Amino acid sequence: MNQSWWALKLAFGVVPIVAGLDKFFNLLTNWEQYLSPLVARVVPASTFMHVVGIIEIAAGLLVLSKLTRVGAYIVSAWLVGIALNLLTTGHYFDIAARDLVMAVGAFTLGRLSEVRAPASMEAKQGTGIPRPAHGHA
């Protein structure tokens, strides 16, 4: 479980930071093309993307910090929001589907973090073999 947790922690920590930083530079892609026309009518696209970038960086930093569980749930919800935004564009359905699958992965990191924290405490307290919290994983 530890290797899986670390793999998810690094992926859902680093990728949002990189994507968030790129909202300011557009080196990976032109992010504005993915913005829903509904949102673009209300907020200038570049301003919106800069706000998105800041939120993504913050979420990634949370995942990489000791607040992994909280950050993972934020990243999961954020990815669902991105998928919904993409669906309203009438395009990019494949990317929306991918983001929903990624949201499940981030949610899984959150759940693993919940199980891992009590198990780690038991191991540190010398109570024997770490057991999942609530009797399930």
pLDDT of the residue at 122: 54
**76-101: per-residue pLDDT in tens?**
999 999 999 999 999 999 999 999 99
d(CA 5, CA 122): 18
| Tokens 């930071």 -> residue | 17
Which own/partner pairs from 89-95 qualify as long-range (CB within 8 Å, at least 24 positions apart)?
89/34, 89/35, 89/36, 89/37, 92/34, 95/34
pLDDT of the residue at 85: 95
d(CA 65, CA 59): 10
Termini Cα distance of the chain: 10
60's tokens: 């990634």
98's tokens: 């991918």
Percent of the chain with pLDDT over 90: 82
Low-confidence ranges of the chain (pLDDT < 70): 118-137
The reported pTM is: 0.83
pLDDT of the residue at 76: 98
Helices (H), 23-92: 37-40, 45-64, 68-89
Q: What are phi and psi of 52, to 5 degrees?
A: -60, -45
Domains in the chain: boundaries:
2-135
Provide the greatest CA pair distance for the chain: 58
